[in-house]
Amino acid sequence: MATVLIVDDDPALRDGLAETVGDLGHVPVVAASGEEGLARLAAGDVNAVLLDLRMQGAFDGMATLARIRARPEPPPVTVLTAFASPANTIEAMRLGAYDHLTKPVGRADLAAVLDGMLQRARPDPVPEDRRPAGGLVGSSAAMRRVQKTIGLVADSPATVLIGGETGTGKEEVARALHAFSGRRDKPFVPIDCAAIPAHLLETELFGHVRGGFPGATADRTGAFGRAAGGTLFLDEVGDMPAAMQAKILRVIQDRMIAPMGGTPARIDVRLVAATHHDLPALVAEGRFRADLYYRLAVVPILIPPLRERLADIVPLAEQFLAAHGKRLSAGAAARLLSYPWPGNVRELRNVMERAAFLGRGGMVAPEEIDLPGGQGQAEPDGEPASDLPGAVAALERRMIARALDEEGGNRSRAARRLGIQRQLLYAKIDRYGLGDAVTEPSEKTTDDVGKSDSEDGL
């Protein structure tokens, strides 16, 4: 039996969590504000904390988390929010949260996170101010895993290897790692290893001194030098020539670089690499050094293709359009969801920018979405409805049907893919008559703790 502190300024949600925590065999204690929670924590005998993100008062959830983690022996903390974003997910994990969950929290999920918190606690981080996540958009389960990993390793010196298809947003992940790290005030230097000819890559990375080779008429600082104190991002590292692979391996091992024609010097650079290649396969074929692969993949982050992140397509499209002062219609959203996006986020950005430039109104209509070969025009349920509620319903039905199909009819996995609670998915399956596409999950379902922000929307 453990004592669990629940900090939430919503009485109903606070009481609901307390009841569930008690049912799970623990002792709940409650606080209605960050200040009250910190005072209760100072009294001692708290084993774990459930902390609301948005609270009134001097300390919101993030400020309260920072103060809890600054204590000499802080208990593990899980942050709960109905308004999850890449920024608050990454920052909560970076500040030392054990996990970051979206309300409503299911009983099984709450039991699992409490068990995990009570078994182990993470080391203390150094609390700092919150920072934006830049272009890293995504609320799908897959992207939230990526965001949590970023928060966990942003402040570490570990080398990170980002994998994923072309156009999935690998550089955005690298930039988020830098922006949320203690190196954020130093340079972020990206280098595309596939775009630089092999004979120029060495001088581009390491630089040269005057007279270092014929034609070197002046000193030149390489990418490692320009990234001093900051982050060097080696994009498409899988295309790096074999000779350069050996040099990069030596730099990682020795933390030293030697400009062409110059003397070695110690460096302080955080290295992040990315590739669309299957590096283990290249290692097996002898086309990539195994020792370099293991040095780069200390922390691997895999970004799923956009076709596997249905919940991210519309938010991404809306962000791209918002930069041009335009909005996405429900019918246009349905078209986007019916297309497989082989070019991933990069292709989606291009399509939305084209629609913004060529469209005449403030709302992008379905016919203004220009997809290759007219793809995405034929809808399985006929033409999109003319009214917004009907279009949204058709959109929901297609998203749910696709998620169920891709997960073999398993409702639990489909709910995770869509980023919604299982009970909400069950109701929508009944509403849209999709029961034939469902297989019964083996796990026992439980009621959710708290209420959903939206009973109808995905």
Q: What is the pLDDT of residues 97-126, one digit of tens each?
A: 999 998 888 888 899 899 889 875 444 444
Look at 26-40, 75-89, 261-275, 373-387 and tell me which has the smallest mean pLDDT.
373-387
Cβ-based neighbour number of residue 446 at 10 Å? 15
Residues 145, 421, 28, CA angle at the centre, nearest 5°?
Answer: 85
* pLDDT over 70, % of the chain: 86
- Interval 221-239 mean pLDDT: 95
- Interval 131-156 mean pLDDT: 80
- Interval 61-85 mean pLDDT: 92
Predicted pLDDT at 398? 78
Residue 309: φ, ψ to 5°:
-130, 60
Query: Looking at per-residue confidence, does 287 or 401 come out higher?
Result: 287
Give the whole-angstrom CA distance, residue 391 versus residue 443. 33
Query: Looking at per-residue confidence, does 242 or 133 come out higher?
Result: 242
What residues contact residue 422 under an 8 Å CB cut-off, 6+ apart?
Answer: 106, 411, 412, 415, 445
Predicted pLDDT at 121? 45
Give the whole-angstrom CA distance, residue 223 versus residue 201. 10
Tokens of 303: 């970004």
What residues contact residue 382 under an 8 Å CB cut-off, 6+ apart?
Answer: none
- Interval 128-143 mean pLDDT: 63
244 pLDDT more than 90: yes
Give the whole-angstrom CA distance, residue 291 versus residue 285. 14
Q: Which CATH architecture has domain 307-449?
A: Orthogonal Bundle (1.10)
Where residue 73 falls among pLDDT bands split at 50, 70, 90? confident
Look at 207-216, 232-241, 281-290, 440-449 and tell me which has the smallest mean pLDDT.
440-449
Query: Looking at per-residue confidence, does 30 or 388 come out higher?
Result: 30
Question: What does the pLDDT look like over 421-431, one tens digit per residue?
Answer: 777 788 788 88
Maximum distance among all Cα pairs of the chain, rounded to whole angstroms:
77
Mean pLDDT over the full length of the chain? 84
How does strand 77-81 pair with strand 327-328?
Answer: unpaired
Which sequence spans correspond to the domains of the chain? 3-130, 153-302, 307-449
- Interval 356-380 mean pLDDT: 75
Question: What does the pLDDT look like over 302-311, one tens digit per residue?
Answer: 999 998 888 8
Look at 73-82, 248-257, 334-343, 391-400 and tell me which has the smallest mean pLDDT.
391-400
367 pLDDT more than 80: yes
Map tokens 């297989």 to a residue.
439
3-130 — its CATH code? 3.40.50.2300
Predicted pLDDT at 120? 57
Predicted pLDDT at 392? 63
Where residue 43 falls among pLDDT bands split at 50, 70, 90? confident
What residues contact residue 255 under an 8 Å CB cut-off, 6+ apart?
Answer: 266, 267, 268
Predicted pLDDT at 399? 80
Predicted pLDDT at 3? 92
* CATH fold match for the domains 153-302 and 307-449: no
Predicted pLDDT at 390? 60
Residues 122, 124, 129, CA angle at the centre, nearest 5°?
Answer: 120
Q: List the one residue out of 324, 332, 378 whose CA is nearest residue 356.
A: 324
Map tokens 């299982």 to a residue.
422
Map tokens 């869509």 to a residue.
418
Mark out the alpha helices in 180-309 (DSSP H runs).
198-206, 223-226, 242-254, 279-284, 290-296
- Interval 73-94 mean pLDDT: 91
Predicted pLDDT at 126? 41
Predicted pLDDT at 378? 40
Tell me yes or no: is domain 153-302 CATH 3.40.50.300: yes
DSSP string, 346-359: HHHHHHHHHHHHH-
Where residue 35 falls among pLDDT bands split at 50, 70, 90? very high
What residues contact residue 236 under an 8 Å CB cut-off, 6+ apart?
Answer: 192, 193, 194, 195, 274, 275, 276
Question: What does the pLDDT look like over 373-417, one tens digit per residue?
Answer: 655 544 444 444 445 556 567 777 878 888 888 888 888 888 877
Residues 175, 178, 184, CA angle at the centre, nearest 5°?
Answer: 125
CA dihedral 108, 110, 114, 115 (to 10 degrees): 10
